[in-house]
Chain A
Amino acid sequence: MELMFALVIGTLTATGVYLLLRARTFPVVVGLTLLSYGVNLFLFSTGRLVTGQQPIIGSAEHYTDPLPQALVLTAIVIGFAMTAFVVVLSLRSLADHDDDHVDGRRDEPPLREIDETEANGQ
């Protein structure tokens, strides 16, 4: 279980970082989401991985650490709010600049303009 858990966190984080570096708003948003999933799973594991035990003292002989669960819950709530905000901001950026590059600049003229210049040339 530990190996599986570690691999999942590593994959999520690595994919998230890769997508963040893509410099397009949609991959960046997805990358941030994956990164926050990785972080949340990691936080969950900081109380040690145990199965079949409750985070309540006195309910059973052994209990699992409740604090990481509280931390993860807070982090998830904050993460959702932030993701919603960054999605709206990306849409705004797309509308303002007519392009989804995070710098708002165009790498190459869009196809429509090329067509127009060709049409004018002929």
Chain B
Amino acid sequence: MNDWLLAPILIPLLGAIVQAFMGYAPISLRRTLALATTVLILVSAIVLLILANDGSYRIYAFGNWQPPFGIVLVLDRLAALMLVVTAVLGLLSHIYAVGGADEGNRQFHGLFLFQLMGLNIAFLTGDLFNLFVAFEVLLIASYGLLMHGGGTARTVPGLHYVVLNLVGSAIFLISVGMIYSVTGTLNMADLALAVRGLSGADLEIVRAGGLMLLVVFGLKAAILPLCFWLPKAYAKATAPVAALFAVMTKVGTYAILRVYLLVFGDNAGPLANLGMDWLFPLALITLAMGVIGALGAGSLKNLVAWQVIISVGTLLAPVALGSEAGLSAALFYLLSTTFTVGGLFLVSDLVSSQRGSAADRIITAPKMRNRTFLSVLFLVGAVAAAGIPPLSGFFGKILILQSVQSGAEMGWLWSVLLIGSFLTVIAYSRAGSIVFWRTVDGHLERPARLNGRVSASAGALIALTVTLVVLAGPITRYTDATAAQLHNTAAYTAILQIPMVAEGN
């Protein structure tokens, strides 16, 4: 039964290999096979979600090695949730890409599937070094995807993105080495036990390694001092790629959740809650910075890219406070914001395709085609992103606010989050009113007709915010259970005792 854990890794791997070998096949065949692969990934993710919903940990040990010695895949509620989020977002952006964005590069689908594979490994792995490998797999694919579509506008942000991530990888390796040199293990469950008994110089080395790890994850998640690469890179990427990248910052958040709750959690002795005092103010400043960026954005894609940074700040603030309610609220918000941001990237691209040379810049232009449809999508997305009732962003923010009920943290979180939401509403209403309402006389050159498939996938992503509200009951029950499971680290470390499959069957 645990062999299912390999499915979300093997399916995209095989799909991508097939794509690599059929680079010159007709594009319709390549598209069909690639989409079929993405659908299968979603199916396997849902199967794993059903498996994980019973609250137990499932492990797949490569080569049947007992956990501390081999590499293991671990499935729990959090991993299953992230798999499903990625698969849904991946499928919808893939459908969008098939609408025409995948032309011009024979390996687009292969790279897209490799990216999904890297993401899935990162969510399933229970080993720190394997997490590094997963990061590299998804990064290599993302470098190719970011440059996809050509144009000189992409080389500079692409180069910055690649160099920054390579430096991040170097720091990741150094911190992994520091932790390994003291504890002698890289298995996360074993590491959680090993850090408890440290003292003296060993303790300081692991502390330094742990904090450097936070820098790396912070770079991936785009926390404030490490977030300036993001808006340009995301705003310049092709729309379906940018939409898929909406989950990339969540990988950093996931890694912080996983490592800092398990290894450096409440039970870590002298290293308990390492770095969390730093994370809380940084998250709030990140949120403020994102809002300032959104207010000053000159184009819709730029606005949405800054929304990514806002959501990172909103997500990490309750995580840093470490309460179970806050964690559950953050997970609900993660679902909402990933789909909303992905959908808004796609909608910005649709708007851009209807406005001729004005593209998605926030300036007045002649009246666009399909204005009603696009403005409704943008309105729904903006309402969900800014967090005003009645959509899922509002529920996520209310849950986050409710999770902090006293003390100075409450004052800071409430004021920054509420003022930030208010200013985000201003940013979206300014952008929306200029783009959709203030039209000038004139006509557009060759306004392309909206492709049905493309509009449907963008609409579906935006509509997911409504679905999340309708299903808020079951989803919050799931996130509550996830938060409880994450806080119960003893259950996770128990996987070290799981008996292996007997020989010869």
Q: Which residues of A contact B (CB under 8 A)?
A: 20, 25, 28, 32, 35-36, 38-40, 42-43, 45-48, 67-68, 71, 74-75, 78, 81-82, 85-86, 89-90, 92-93, 96-97, 102-104
Contacts and interface: CB of A to CB of B under 8 A. Distances in A.
B245 interface: no
Most buried by A among B133, B143, B155, B176: B155
Nearest to B147: A89
A78 B136 contact: yes
Contacts of B140: 81-82, 85
B414 interface: no
A44 B366 CA distance: 62
A20 B173 contact: no
B182 to A, nearest CB: 9
Contacts of B152: 96-97, 104
Given A67-B180, A93-B159, A104-B156, A43 B173 contact: yes
Contacts of B129: 71, 74
A104 B152 CA distance: 10
Given A46-B177, A89-B162, A103 B156 contact: yes
Nearest to A40: B173
A78 B163 contact: no
Interface string B166-178: 1101100110111
Contact of A102 (B133, B160, B173, B180): B160
A89 B159 contact: yes
Interface of B: 129, 133, 136, 140, 143, 147, 152, 155-156, 158-160, 162-163, 166-167, 169-170, 173-174, 176-178, 180-181, 186
Contact of A20 (B143, B158, B163, B177): B163
A108 to B, nearest CB: 19
A105 to B, nearest CB: 9
Contacts of A28: 163
A63 to B, nearest CB: 14
Contact of A35 (B147, B167, B176): B167
Contact of A42 (B159, B163, B174): B174
B156 A42 contact: no
Nearest to B144: A85
B177 A104 contact: no
B231 to A, nearest CB: 15
Main secondary structure on chain B at its contact with chain A? helix
A32 B167 contact: yes
Contacts of A71: 129, 173, 176-177, 180
A86 B167 CA distance: 12
Given A32-B166, A75-B173, A102-B163, A89 B180 contact: no
Nearest to A103: B156
B170 A97 contact: no
Contacts of A86: 159, 162-163, 166
A103 B156 CA distance: 6
Contacts of A85: 140, 143, 162
A48 B129 CA distance: 18
Contacts of B156: 93, 97, 102-104
A92 B186 CA distance: 38
A25 B174 contact: no
Contact of A32 (B163, B173, B177): B163
A39 B174 contact: yes
Contacts of B173: 39-40, 42-43, 71, 75
A89 B174 CA distance: 25
B178 to A, nearest CB: 8
Contacts of B155: 89, 92-93, 96-97, 104
A90 B159 CA distance: 7
**A-B pairs with lowest CB-CB distance, top 6:** A46-B181, A96-B152, A46-B177, A104-B156, A93-B155, A43-B177
Contacts of B170: 32, 35-36, 38-39
A80 to B, nearest CB: 12
A50 B158 CA distance: 42
A103 B181 CA distance: 38
Contacts of A39: 170, 173-174, 177
A81 B159 CA distance: 15
Nearest to B165: A82
Contacts of B162: 82, 85-86, 89
26 contacts: A20-B163, A28-B163, A32-B166, A36-B166, A38-B170, A39-B174, A46-B177, A46-B178, A46-B181, A67-B180, A68-B180, A71-B177, A71-B180, A74-B129, A75-B173, A78-B136, A78-B169, A82-B162, A82-B166, A82-B169, A85-B162, A89-B162, A92-B147, A96-B155, A97-B155, A102-B160
Nearest to B69: A67
Contacts of B169: 78, 82
Contacts of A36: 166, 170
B228 to A, nearest CB: 13
Contacts of B160: 102
A47 B183 CA distance: 11
A20 B147 CA distance: 22
Contacts of B158: 89
A110 B138 CA distance: 39
Given A32-B166, A39-B174, A67-B180, A78 B159 contact: no
B73 to A, nearest CB: 17
Most buried by A among B136, B143, B170: B170
A35 B177 CA distance: 15
B384 to A, nearest CB: 35
Nearest to B158: A89
A35 B90 CA distance: 34
A32 B158 CA distance: 16
